[in-house]
Structure 1
Amino acid sequence: MNYETTIDASTAHPHADGEPQGPASTRRLWIIGALIAAALVGVWFLMHRGDTTAAGEGQAAQAQVVTVVVPGTTTIARNITASGTIAARREMPVGVAGEGGQIVQVLVDAGDWVKAGQVLAVIDRSVQSQQIASQSANVEVAAADARLAQANLDRALKLVERGFISKADVDRLTATRDAAAARVRVARASLGELGARAARLNIVAPAAGLVLTRAAEPGQIVSPGTGVLFSMARDGQMEMQARLSEGDLAQLAVGAIAQVTPVGSAQTWTGQVWQLSPTIDQTSREGIARIALAYDNALRPGGFATANLTAGTVTAPLLPESAILSDEKGSYVYVIDSDDKAVRRPVKTGEVSARGIAVIEGLSGRERVVLRAGGFLNPGDKVRPVVQK
């Protein structure tokens, strides 16, 4: 039996180096290449590991050093500064109470202290004096008529007992006596009226106090329509009328302490708010706080002054001005978080004093707040915080 054999050329001829080519040989080449590549990567990593560490240390070294502070909380007096004028606490205008006339004498001047009822000026009363004298004579005439009427009645009563005068005559004499007595009372009342009118020609102080202004001079003709001749401060009490905005006025209460300094004076007077304006001016949107002041000759009504009022206290973190930044979005600070990164924190500021600025909203006082150089930071910047002691 004959067999025919077919031989594949790829298996029949050997490779040039004496080794046959096949699937097993190709797989072996791939494995050898992978091992060589892994070895090269390992060698590169070992060679550059020091450079990577140095780069990390360099980046840390480039982090900005910032000074931070943990402010805590402080009890701060809330102060309000206002301006206004000095005035009499109770100003009393004094004018002509009577019919007026010509002033013949002025007895006081501005700056004098007077008592209640003290005469300030005297108006000519020559005509009134003559009227009083005439009426006094009328009183005497009426009194004489009354005495005569009484005597006639007494005689008539004696004659009635004897039957010489009728009862009707007695009644007529009694009426005459009563009419005469009434005329006496009328005359005396008229005399009293003239005396009261003459007394009103004296311009007197309505209460004890300090004379502030004088607008009366001897020879001047005055009448009830003349206006104010003297102005007085009752008991010499003064006040400052401080003008405040609606918001500031709402923070004050009656009894608040104020330090008042007149313009041009280095001296400060301590006063107390005794009245807050119940209304707000619709134009200026301001109200008035009236601050009571004790009398002092350096406090001149009409003068300008400034007042520093204490409107209670507030407990809040206190920061220096350098720590608080602002832009179109409002005031803010930079707070350093646990990863030493800068975080922008919006805040609301309150009282400003020589010790710093109170932060009434946005901080609890336990944060690390950037004290300076906040303007060079951006949110998320890595920093090296140094706590100020």
Structure 2
Amino acid sequence: MNYTNKLDRAQDADAADVAAIAGDAPVGVSMRVVWGAVAATFIVMIAIWFYLHAGQGAQESEKDAAQVPVVTFVKPGRSSVEGTVMATGTLAARRAMPVGSVGEGGEVRRVLVEPGDWVKAGQVLAVVDNSVQIQQQASQAGQVQAAQANARLAQANLDRALQLVDRGFISKADIDQLTATRDSALAQVEIARATLRQLKAQAARLNIVAPAAGLVLQRSVEAGQVVGGGSSVLFRIAKDGEMELLANLSEDDLARVTVGAEAQVTPVGSNESFTGHIWQIAPVIDQTSRQGTARIALAFNPALRPGGFASATLDSGMVVAPMLPESAIQNDDKGSYVYVIDKNNRVQRQPVKTGLVTAKGIVITQGLSGNERVVLRAGGFLNPNDPVKPKRVDDGQA
């Protein structure tokens, strides 16, 4: 019982103390103090978090900045260079003359020339059997002699009649008849002579001769072969030995060249180049290949063989275009391209078309205006939209 009373009294004392405290401090004030402490603690924790992560972010930014590559660039501008057009084509005789039999034909007795020989105009290339024609000429020569004899007899009869006409033994009509006979006999002489000349000309046409001076390119006849008038080509001659290159050009390139422009031709398998000039430009474009032909005249040289393949560099006049070193130009299956640096210092792929290769660089015919910042080196290690630190190659300034 006493213990119970003591416990009750203690509890009552504690309750009294709490009541006394509560009576001294209002309830609203105590709650504000608690919440303020909580808020202060939260703010301190946020500040600590931001401090720790801000330092880590700065370190990562510094690390990323250290990984951005420094690339040198150039602004190519525009340079004046002698424009050229590259082309390929086939070598041929500029004027290839096919030669065949123009006479009655016959058996070929001898062939007098070989491919590679030079011939003159009218030179005999092959001899055709003319034994029949010789006999025809001999027969006609006899006809000429017979006609001449008849003409002399007719003239003698007329002369005697003229001596008797004044005596009245020969009438005027007889004189006219004898004169007509004499004239007819003379005409027969001329006919016989003309026939003989015809036979001789036909015999001369049996032989196959060169129509003009030039180089024999082809021989397609052998001794013992029988040829006829209008037969296939027996010889082919390059007139004056002149050659040409039939250069195939695209429509764009064909429009850039002119007649008279110089060209350098290099046959396949040869290190030597030959100077020629464009003498004709095709007036039409092939609808299938979309190409035209520029014919380049070349002087004779043993290295220029008709039918061979050759490349050519054609002069197309002065060109004003950007020029870049080879290190700035990349190539892949999509073609040639360069990397340009945009205003945000990121690289972007720019397709280009290259032209003449000179000692100063490669001409860019399409794709650049000349004012771009073009990556000079290390383009193969970059990808589109990569950030870079640009550094100008000429003065080191970004």
**Common topology (TM > 0.5):** yes
Residues 1:153 and 1:309: Cα distance change in structure 2 (over 3 Å): same
Which of 360, 376, 380 is the aligned partner of 2:382?
Answer: 376
2:347/2:387 contact within 8 Å kept: no
**Per-residue deviation, 1:97:** 0.8
Which of 347, 354, 359 is the aligned partner of 1:350?
Answer: 354
Q: Give the corresponding residue for 1:281.
A: 286
Q: Give the corresponding residue for 1:264.
A: 269
Q: Give the corresponding residue for 1:3.
A: none
Residues 1:337 and 1:86: Cα distance change in structure 2 (over 3 Å): closer
1:101-116 paired onto structure 2 within 5 Å: 101-116=106-121
Q: Secondary structure at the match of 2:212?
A: coil
The reply on whether 1:124 has 2:129 as its aligned counterpart is yes
Structure 1: state its 5+ residue gaps. Answer: 1-14
The reply on whether 1:219 has 2:251 as its aligned counterpart is no
**Per-residue deviation, 1:335:** 3.9
1:228-243 paired onto structure 2 within 5 Å: 228-243=233-248
The reply on whether 1:74 has 2:79 as its aligned counterpart is yes
1:342/1:377 contact within 8 Å kept: no
**Per-residue deviation, 1:269:** 1.6
**Per-residue deviation, 1:115:** 0.8
Deviation per residue, 1:42-100 (Å, 9 max, x gap): x99xx99x969988777655543121112222233443333322211111111111001
Residues 1:330 and 1:88: Cα distance change in structure 2 (over 3 Å): closer
- Mapped to 1, the partners of 2:219 and 2:308 lie a distance apart of 18
The reply on whether 1:179 has 2:192 as its aligned counterpart is no
Q: Give the corresponding residue for 1:4.
A: none
Residues 1:345 and 1:103: Cα distance change in structure 2 (over 3 Å): closer
Aligned-pair identity (%) = 58
**Per-residue deviation, 1:319:** 2.2
**Per-residue deviation, 1:358:** 2.9
**Per-residue deviation, 1:309:** 2.5
1:332/1:344 contact within 8 Å kept: no
Which of 123, 132, 139 is the aligned partner of 1:134?
Answer: 139
- Mapped to 2, the partners of 1:121 and 1:335 lie a distance apart of 70
Which of 316, 339, 356 is the aligned partner of 2:321?
Answer: 316
Q: Secondary structure at the match of 1:287?
A: strand
> Which one-letter code corresponds to 1:219 in the other structure?
G
**Per-residue deviation, 1:175:** 1.0
1:25-174 paired onto structure 2 within 5 Å: 61=66, 63-174=68-179
**Per-residue deviation, 1:139:** 1.0
Q: Secondary structure at the match of 2:233?
A: coil
Structure 2: state its 5+ residue gaps. Answer: 1-20
- Mapped to 1, the partners of 2:337 and 2:253 lie a distance apart of 24
Q: Secondary structure at the match of 1:216?
A: coil
Q: Secondary structure at the match of 1:250?
A: helix
Q: Tell me whether 244-253 or 267-276 shows the greater mean CA deviation.
A: 244-253
- Mapped to 1, the partners of 2:307 and 2:75 lie a distance apart of 49
2:274/2:298 contact within 8 Å kept: yes
1:334/1:342 contact within 8 Å kept: no
2:257/2:316 contact within 8 Å kept: yes
Residues 1:300 and 1:373: Cα distance change in structure 2 (over 3 Å): closer
2:353/2:367 contact within 8 Å kept: no
**Per-residue deviation, 1:144:** 1.4
Q: Give the corresponding residue for 1:307.
A: 312
Question: What is the number of equivalent residue pairs in this alignment?
Answer: 373
1:254/1:275 contact within 8 Å kept: yes
Residues 1:377 and 1:103: Cα distance change in structure 2 (over 3 Å): closer
Compute the TM-score of the two structures, normalised by the length of structure 2: 0.78
Q: Tell me whether 288-297 or 278-287 shows the greater mean CA deviation.
A: 278-287
> Which one-letter code corresponds to 1:315 in the other structure?
V
> Which one-letter code corresponds to 1:92 in the other structure?
M
